[in-house]
Chain A
Amino acid sequence: MRADGEAILEVRDLVKHYPLTRGILIRKQIGAVHAVDGVSFDLRRGETLGIVGESGCGKSTVAKLLVSLERPTSGHIRYKGEDVTKLSGRALKAVRRNIQMVFQDPYTSLNPRMTVGDIIGEPFEIHPEVAPKGSRRRRVQELLDVVGLNPEYINRYPHQFSGGQRQRIGIARGLALRPEVIVADEPVSALDVSVQAQVVNLLERLQNEFDLSYVFIAHDLSVVRHISDRVAVMYLGRLAEVGTDAQIYDHPTHPYTQALLSAVPVPDPDARERRERILLTGDVPSPAHPPSGCRFRTRCWKAQEKCARVVPPLEVPDWFREGGGPAAHVSACHYAEERHVVPVREPGAEAPVSWNGP
């Protein structure tokens, strides 16, 4: 376990509502999109916290809130004890040095009119105290080398690179200020399978090298399991379940997590017969009109009258608490129950160990 327990980011009751307005000059609020609705978690030093969920669940909004691109409607984000949401101006700029972001789309996250050197060097222009002027070019070349790109490419433009190479440039920019926390919003989902593995490995290597803490947001559950120490499952603006990778994937107790995991297509044709699929009916409700009580109840096969009435708290369910074991982790369900849904490869069919050529 890499994490040593000390929380570097503490998120408490984070809420972000986007007002829905009508009218051009005189705006009238007619409702709100509940993008994030009371999310709390800790990020510990050196760990990777994965956040998974389907589109519209609010995970990207959480990312934007963490790096102060959006202001929360209410709630706190404490970085080393200091509430970031209250900061502005110089103080905010100082915190930004330590919390950086890697974006999803390598094609829109780099300014097409700037050279790679200018893109990676921009953090130093904004924070001149980090690197004196004379050393910046060298620092940029070092960064290119660190992310596995040829330092001679410093004068090239983004459109001369492939998606994977661009994502490396984006990572180099995120690293420039030596942040302690990197929030990565779907950093590999736009990449091809073979390139995706390269970037995942790079992120893991950088984490060890620079002692980074990651918030890794993705919809690909396999990638999240691979990279994360702990995983948070999000549904319609709230956390459904949080635990270590083994707790969530091998011992899920929230019905939504179970449905999500059972729906992931596994690259093993033998699993076709063995797997148990939980097919959810219907679509995710609109975040402008979330259901009362438990958000998942409209699609849940276990829903009772209580689920519409009482919001299930994100706690370790009482009936698991005493027994301990892997099922004893926080789960926001009144009727939490352990269920194995991920097909485990039979020992005989185990894939060969990775090879690296003859």
Chain B
Amino acid sequence: MEQPATLLDVRDLHVEFRTRDGVAKAVNGVSYSVAAGETLAVLGESGSGKSVTAQAVMGILDSPPGFVTGGEVLFRGRNLLTMGEEHRRRVRGAKLAMIFQDALSSLNPVMTVGAQLGEMYEVHQGMTRKDARARAVQLMDRVRIPAAKERVRDYPHQFSGGMRQRIMIAMALALEPDLIIADEPTTALDVTVQAQVMDLLAELQREYNMGLVLITHDLGVVADVADKIAVMYAGRIVETAPVHELYKRPAHPYTRGLLDSIPRLDHKGQELYAIKGLPPSLTAIPPGCPFNPRCPRAQDICRSDRPPLYAVEPGRASACHFWKETLDES
């Protein structure tokens, strides 16, 4: 059987939340794809729809109030959204895995970590408890948890934050998935621990040739590990680009503003550039370009016409009517 190069292909995904305050359009036509061995960073601020997209892909959207109202999620060419529940569950468990920000609440507090890791093998591969436990120890060794043999009998709360996140990674890896979606995996961790965990994740990804979707708000983390980036704003992708190009020459004013607004580590710098205003409420996204009220470049056309994703260069796109000007200025 021939395998397509693309692992995950999200096409024109729409998600909305129906709340008592109205319909919040959280994801409005998001498309991205990830190939084996590739790292896609989905960058966005809170409310940009980056996590909701991932939840829809994983099929763990809280529904209600959340509903997928359009689009396709193709995993190895097959649409997860229309697949039968049974089949989808099998794909999701074995081929797709997710790592969450808060490891403590994602682990069962009354089960030992060994039992939780072992359960994956017992349920999905029908292993005996003893074999499963042995695999759990191997896995904990693999994510470099010291004294794995003894610690396999410990409960999640007995581990530090960094170690818990390693256990989460071990759980995601257990069935050797093709793709891992990591939602802010290191946000809750201290910098020194964050560096350890990111390095581990990157190393394992290379080793197993997995696809990785890294959801984050941290431009620093993205620069460290990503191959390509999708920048999200108000439920849309506003720019996609390979990592080096995006940082050097952003083609969307929002990306530009984000890059300029982070303080530097290597020198003190002058007053920070600040994007004015606030992200829009998802129940009242402005007409035209959703970024237009905050954009220094906004013209009349930005207030009336929604910009499509213009192809900027091969592998690059920007949802800005003035992408050329933005690019040239960089």
> Which A residues are closer than 8 A to B by beta carbons?
54-55, 162, 164-165, 192-198, 200-201, 204, 219, 221-223, 225-227, 245-246, 249-250, 259-261, 263-272, 277, 279-280, 282-284, 342-345, 349, 351-352, 354-358
Contact = CB atoms under 8 A, between A and B. Distances in A.
B218 interface: yes
Given A201-B272, A221-B191, A263-B191, A283 B224 contact: no
Given A164-B278, A226-B269, A264 B220 contact: yes
A243 B194 CA distance: 25
Interface string B254-274: 001111111111111111111
B247 A269 contact: yes
Contacts of B46: 192
B195 A263 contact: yes
Interface in B286-301: 296-297
Contacts of A268: 223, 247
Nearest to B249: A352
B263 A225 contact: yes
Most chain-B CB neighbours within 10 Å: which of A226, A260, A279, A345?
A: A226
10 contacts: A54-B191, A193-B262, A197-B275, A249-B266, A260-B192, A267-B223, A270-B244, A279-B192, A349-B248, A354-B260
Contacts of B247: 267-270
Q: Chain B contact residues (Cβ within 8 angstroms of A): what range? A: 35 or more
B233 to A, nearest CB: 10
A196 B195 CA distance: 23
B275 A272 contact: no
B136 to A, nearest CB: 21
Given A263-B195, A279-B196, A283-B193, A354 B270 contact: yes
A42 to B, nearest CB: 21
A235 to B, nearest CB: 10
Given A283-B163, A357-B297, A192 B45 contact: yes
B266 to A, nearest CB: 5
A264 B265 contact: yes
Contacts of A283: 160, 162-163, 193
Contacts of A345: 266
B218 A265 contact: yes
Contacts of A162: 278
Contact of A54 (B190, B276, B279): B190
Contact of A267 (B160, B198, B220): B220
A354 B273 contact: yes
Given A226-B264, A265-B223, A55 B190 contact: yes
Contacts of A279: 192, 195-196, 199
Q: Which 8 A-B pairs have the closest CB atoms?
A: A357-B296, A265-B220, A226-B263, A197-B261, A54-B190, A192-B45, A263-B195, A354-B273
B155 to A, nearest CB: 17
B101 to A, nearest CB: 14
B134 interface: no
A203 to B, nearest CB: 11
A201 B274 contact: yes
A269 B191 contact: no
Contacts of B199: 277, 279
B192 A267 contact: no
A355 B163 contact: no
B243 A194 contact: no
B217 interface: yes
Interface string B181-208: 0000000001111111011000000000
Nearest to B242: A269
Nearest to B222: A267
A95 to B, nearest CB: 32
B150 interface: no
Contacts of A282: 146
B330 interface: yes
Given A342-B265, A354-B270, A355-B260, 10 more contacts: A54-B190, A192-B279, A193-B262, A204-B271, A261-B265, A267-B247, A277-B195, A283-B160, A355-B273, A355-B296
